[in-house]
Amino acid sequence: MSDGTTTRGTSSAAQAGLSNLLHEERRFPPSAEFSAQANGQPDLYDRAAADRVGFWEEQARALHWDTPWDTALEWDAPFAKWFVGGTLNVAYNCVDRHVEAGHGDQVAIHWIGEPGDTRTITYADLQREVAKAANALTELGVQKGDRVAIYLPMVPEAAVAMLACARIGAPHSVVFGGFSADALASRIDDASAKLVITADGGYRRGAPSALKPAVDEAVARTTSVEKVLVVRRTGQDVAWDDAKDVWWHEVVDRQPDTHAYEPHDAEHPLFILYTSGTTAKPKGILHTTGGYLTHVSYTHRYVFDLKPDSDVYWCSADIGWVTGHSYIVYGPLANRATQVMYEGTPDTPHKGRLWEIAQEYGVTILYTAPTLIRTMMKWGEEIPQGYDLSALRVLGSVGEPINPEAWVWYRRVIGGDRTPIVDTWWQTETGGLMISPLPGVTTLKPGSAQRPLPGISAEVVDDSGNPVPNGGGGYLVLTEPWPGMLRGIWGDDARYTETYWSRFPGRYFAGDGAKKDDDGDIWLLGRVDDVMNVSGHRISTTEVESALVSHPKVAEAAVVGATDPTTGQAIVAFVIPRGDAAAATAQGDALVQELRNHVSKEIGPIAKPRQILVVAELPKTRSGKIMRRLLRDVAENRSVGDVTTLADSTVMDLISQQLPAAA
C-alpha cells in the first residue's frame, strides 16, 4: 500500500471523486411523521454509548434463549465469544416462535418465479417445511457439526435448507449459483461438506439455467460428499447417480412435519460463507449462532424500521451472498417480516419487472444495490413511473458506495421524494450492518453511510493508526468487538489474525478507504487492497489473474478494477501471451473471447473481464511488483501517472501504443 501498488481509495481519481463528494451539500432531514413512528429514537445512541455490552444484551433479549448466557462478552483479541453459556435455536427463533405466538397464518414469503409462477408461504407452512427438511437431513446422515453445501437458485427451498441446517446445527456453506464447478469444488473441499443441496436448474433471463452438471463435476473432484439432494425446479434433464443423488420431493416430502429442536451453544458455528481476499484462495468466513442472530435482527428492526404487522419487505439480493443470509433469511425471519423473494433477473420479461412486483405486493421497504439503481437510471425513469410505488416508505442501499446522483434519483423516482434512504456499510465478515443512518433519526447526506450504528465502534485512521480529525481521510477500522463479527476463517486462524488484525494491532482492518467530513460523518471510498467491487460483489484481482494464467496461451496477467458507470468497477485485464506476441495479437478478438470465457468457466460469469488487453510487457517495480495504479490509468483512459519507480519506464509507452489493437 505504500509503494506503486497504491489502490483505488487513495488514487488520484478517487481523490478527485472525493472532493466532489465532500461538496455534496444536499440534506434530507427526517419528516416529523416518520420520526414519530420510527423504531429507532435518538436515545439508542446514548444508551449504547453508556454501556455498549449491556446494550447488546438488551438486543439479545429480543430472541428466545433456552438457557440464558452467563457472560455477555469474552474478548481474547482477536477472538470473541458472545453470550457465553447461552443456548438457543436459530430456526426456532426465525419460525416456530412466531407460530406459537399466533402468527402462523402470516405470510413469511411471497415467492415469485421468473416465469411468473408464485408460491405463498406462511409461517406455519415454513415451520412444516423446515421440520421436514431437518428430518430429511438427519435421514441422509447429516449430524450436528457436519457441513452442508447449498448451491441453489432463488427458490424457497434455499431458505428452508438453510433453516433446516441451522435447526440441527449443521453449518451451511451457501455457494452462489453463478459460481463455476471449480469454485464450488474448492468450497466443498475446504469445508469437507458431506451433503450438497442443489436443483436441476433455475430460471435466468427467460430460460432454464442448469445447476446440477456443475455439482456433478464438483462432486467428482472432491472426496467428502456422500449425498446430493436435488430440488426439481425447471424439469430439465439431469444426469443421475443412484448411489449419491436423491430428489428433494422424494425424501423431504414424506418426512414428518414436526421436529423437536435442540438448543445450540451461542458460539456453535451457524455458517461458512466464502469471500474473495487478496490472494487467489477465497476465505471461508465463519459465523456463529447467538451473537450473529442478535446483530442481524437488531439491525434489521431499526435500520429498516420494520413493522411486522404491516410491512412488506423486499431485499433483492441473492441468497448466495451475505446480504441474502442476513437480510433475507435470518434478520427478517427472526423479526417476523413478511417478505418478497424473486427468482429472476430485473429485465425478465421486461424492464419494469421489479416495479410491477413492488406494486402488486405493496412493497413498503426495498433493499437493493447501487448498481441496480444506476441500471434503472440508464433504462429511464418512465419505466418505474409507470407503476404505483406509493407504499414504499424506506429504501436501502448496499454493496458499494452510492454516488450522490444515484442516491437522489433513487429517492425522487422510486421513493416519491418522501422515503428515507439508508446507505448501509458492512461486509461478509461483519455479519450485519455496521455503519448506516437510522431512518427517522438521521438527517441524510446523499453518498454517505454516516455513523456507526448504536453498539458499533468505528474509526478512520491514518497510516500509523492514529484517528484522523474531521475533514481527514484514511482507513476504516472497527475498534470494539461486535456480536455478528466473524469468528475466524474456516480452518485458518493465522490467516484471520494476519488479514484483519495485524495492519492496526487491536483493531479490525476492513480494507476500505474512508473520509470523515466536518461533522464527523463517514464517507466510504472503496477498497484499498487488491479487491475489486463489481456490481457490489467482491472479486480479487489475484483470483482473476490466476484464472488467466491457468490458460495455456497466457504467460502473465495483471488485473485492475476500472471505474464503470453502471457496475461501480469493471474488470480490466492485461495479458502477456505465451510465445509469439505478434501472432497472439493477430488472433485479436478470438483470443480475447477465449480468455474471457475461460475466466467465466474458472470462476463464474461475474468474474468475466469487461476488457482484455493483449500486451508485450507489464509495468513492474524494480522488486517485480506490478504497478496496478498505472494500468488503472490506462483502463480509465487517463494520462499515465508517475512512472519513475518502474524498472523500465518505457513499458507504459509500449502499452499505450498497443491499445487500439486490443479490447
Annotated binding site for CoA: 204-207, 323, 535
Side-chain half-sphere exposure of 612, counting CA atoms within 13 A: 28
93 and 100 in contact (C-beta within 8 Å)?
no
Give the SS3 label for residue 349.
Answer: coil
The residue from 121, 142, 181, 322 that contacts ligand WT7 (CB under 6 A) is 322
Give the SS3 label for residue 386.
Answer: coil
Is residue 427 involved in binding ligand WT7 (CB under 6 A)? yes
Distances (CA, A) of 601 to 185, 500, 511, 575, 582: 13, 30, 28, 18, 26
Pattern of binders to ligand WT7 over 525-554, x per CB under 6 A? -xx-----x--x-x----------------
Determine the straight-line distance between the first and last CA of the chain, rounded to whole angstroms.
29
Nearest to 384 by CA among 423, 406, 364, 413: 413
Q: Give the Cα separation of 295 and 298 in Å (integer).
A: 5
Q: Least distance from C-beta 210 to ligand WT7, angstroms?
A: 26
Nearest to 362 by CA among 158, 36, 159, 107: 107
The residue from 180, 428, 499, 540 that contacts ligand WT7 (CB under 6 A) is 428
- Grid coordinates representing 155 are 427458490
Strand pairing partners for 232?
none
Of the pair 165, 435, the CB lying nearest ligand WT7 is at 435
Total site size for ligand WT7, rule CB under 6 A? 23
Determine the interface stretch with ligand WT7 among 73-81, 194-202, 337-345, 506-514 (rule: CB under 6 A). Answer: 506-514
Nearest to 318 by CA among 605, 609, 608, 610: 605
Is residue 511 involved in binding ligand WT7 (CB under 6 A)? yes
- Grid coordinates representing 528 are 484499498
Q: Least distance from C-beta 367 to ligand WT7, angstroms?
A: 10
Determine the interface stretch with ligand WT7 among 3-11, 295-303, 376-384, 522-530 (rule: CB under 6 A). Answer: 522-530
Amino acid sitting at position 134: A
Q: Least distance from C-beta 287 to ligand WT7, angstroms?
A: 12
Determine the interface stretch with ligand WT7 among 120-128, 179-187, 197-205, 420-428 (rule: CB under 6 A). Answer: 420-428
| Three-state SS annotation for 238-275 | CCCCCCCEEEHHHHCCCCCCCCCCCCEECCCEEEEEEE
Q: Least distance from C-beta 606 to ligand WT7, angstroms?
A: 11
Of the pair 87, 275, the CB lying nearest ligand WT7 is at 275
Of the pair 4, 511, the CB lying nearest ligand WT7 is at 511
Distances (CA, A) of 332 to 85, 253, 295, 488, 629: 26, 26, 12, 25, 41
Of the pair 438, 576, the CB lying nearest ligand WT7 is at 438
Amino acid sitting at position 405: E
The residue from 269, 401, 473, 484 that contacts ligand WT7 (CB under 6 A) is 401
Phi and psi for 535 in degrees, rounded to 5?
50, 40
Q: Least distance from C-beta 401 to ligand WT7, angstroms?
A: 4
Q: Least distance from C-beta 338 to ligand WT7, angstroms?
A: 23
537 and 371 in contact (C-beta within 8 Å)?
no
Q: Give the Cα separation of 432 and 288 in Å (integer).
A: 12
Is residue 400 involved in binding ligand WT7 (CB under 6 A)? yes
The residue from 323, 338, 359, 658 that contacts ligand WT7 (CB under 6 A) is 323
Determine the interface stretch with ligand WT7 among 398-406, 550-558, 570-578, 616-624 (rule: CB under 6 A). Answer: 398-406
Is residue 275 involved in binding ligand WT7 (CB under 6 A)? yes
Q: Least distance from C-beta 414 to ligand WT7, angstroms?
A: 17
Q: Least distance from C-beta 224 to ligand WT7, angstroms?
A: 26
Of the pair 113, 282, the CB lying nearest ligand WT7 is at 282
Of the pair 248, 367, the CB lying nearest ligand WT7 is at 367
The residue from 93, 127, 424, 450 that contacts ligand WT7 (CB under 6 A) is 424
Which ranges of 329-444 would DSSP assign to H, the alpha helix?
A: 331-334, 353-361, 370-379, 382-385, 404-409
Cis peptide bond prior to 349, omega within 30° of 0: yes
Q: Of residues 575-614, which lie at the interface with ligand WT7 (CB under 6 A)?
A: none
Of the pair 536, 609, the CB lying nearest ligand WT7 is at 536
Q: Least distance from C-beta 275 to ligand WT7, angstroms?
A: 5
Which parts are annotated binding residues for Mg(2+)? 549, 551, 554
The residue from 265, 343, 512, 521 that contacts ligand WT7 (CB under 6 A) is 512
Q: Give the Cα separation of 464 and 559 in Å (integer).
A: 28
Burial of 348 (0-12, 13-18, 19+ CB in 10 A): middle
Which parts are annotated binding residues? 204-207, 323, 399-401, 423-428, 512, 527, 535, 538, 549, 551, 554
Q: Give the Cα separation of 273 and 149 in Å (integer).
A: 10
Q: Of residues 445-474, which lie at the interface with ligand WT7 (CB under 6 A)?
A: 449
DSSP letter string over 523-556? EEEEESSSEEEETTEEEEHHHHHHHHHTSTTEEE
Q: Least distance from C-beta 513 to ligand WT7, angstroms?
A: 9
Residues in CB range of 588: below 8 A, 6 or more apart: 614, 661
The residue from 83, 426, 508, 574 that contacts ligand WT7 (CB under 6 A) is 426
Q: Least distance from C-beta 658 to ligand WT7, angstroms?
A: 32
> Where along the sequence are the contacts to ligand WT7 (CB under 6 A)?
275, 322-323, 398-401, 423-428, 449, 510-512, 524, 526-527, 533, 536, 538
